[in-house]
Amino acid sequence: EIVLTQSPGTLSLSPGERATLSCRASQTVSDTFLAWYQQKPGQAPRLLVYGASNRATAIPDRFSGSGSGTDFTLTISRLEPEDFAVYYCQQYDPFPIFGGGTQVEIK
Amino acid sequence: QLQLQESGSRLVKPSQTLSLTCVVSGNFINSVGYSWSWIRQPPGKGLEWIGYIYHTGSTYYNPSLKSRVNIAVDKSKNQFSLRLNSVTAADTAVYYCARVEMVQVYFDFWGQGILVTVSS
């Protein structure tokens, strides 16, 4: 069973800064099945990126996904106040699994 | 716009059965290429996939929960359901229903979630 490890656990940044979130798989995975979600307190997760690099509907272009093999990255080019949240990566092999999450907090 | 809404018992006693229903708006439950899933999140923790069901009725469950889980679909009512038996305090969580795109397997629409507490 694949394990997804997200780092860092917490990222402290200021609005306007660039955020780089990592998701590392315990073995090579297909980028076809790598997705990213954003979750704010008291809300359901929201799909941001699927297929490692495809933005979901209505997701701003400051969010971008990249990576392949075992290493995947979610980048937020310039943090807006509404971007401070928890972010999860998700893979499918042989069933859906989630990483432990990265919290992006205001510095 | 697709919408999902969970409902069910919010307090369940240990050893009993947790039962939840998710109503899907419109006729989306018959959509080809999608399945319908349950995911849970213990308070302050991460996400755990429970299982999913196709409109055909085929089901797939998380191996760690498989012996206790049943997911069913009622297309006439545009809803699907979750039953989790022999619950313990470890099953206390927010339970989400969601739609799954099955080519690239991602969760594109989610319900708002329902907190279920297991306590005597």
Mutate to test the interface with A, among B105, B108, B109 (most CBs of A within 10 A): B105
Residue B30 pLDDT > 90, yes or no? no
CB B101 within 8 A of CB A33: no
Q: How confident is the model at residue B1 (pLDDT cuts 50, 70, 90)?
A: confident
Closest CA to B81 of B33, B3, B9, B15: B9
Which backbone phi and psi does A14 adopt, to 5 degrees?
-105, 155
User: How far apart, in whole angstroms, are the C-alpha atoms of residue B76 and residue B80?
Assistant: 10
Question: Which stretches of chain A drop beneath a pLDDT of 50?
Answer: none
Q: In chain A, which residue's Cα lies nearest the Cα of B107? A: A47
Residue B77 pLDDT > 90, yes or no? yes
* Closest Cα in chain A, distance from residue B51 (Å): 9
Q: In chain B, which residue's Cα lies nearest the Cα of A54? A: B104
Neighbours of A105 (CB within 10 A): 11
Partners of residue A92 in chain B, C-beta under 8 Å: 105
Q: In chain A, which residue's Cα lies nearest the Cα of B115? A: A42
What's the average model confidence in pLDDT over B65-94? 97
What is the length of chain A?
A: 107
**Residue B115 contacts A where some CB pair is shorter than 8 Å:** no
What's the average model confidence in pLDDT over B13-26? 96
Model pLDDT, residue A39: 98
Model pLDDT, residue A32: 93
Closest CA to B30 of B60, B73, B83: B73
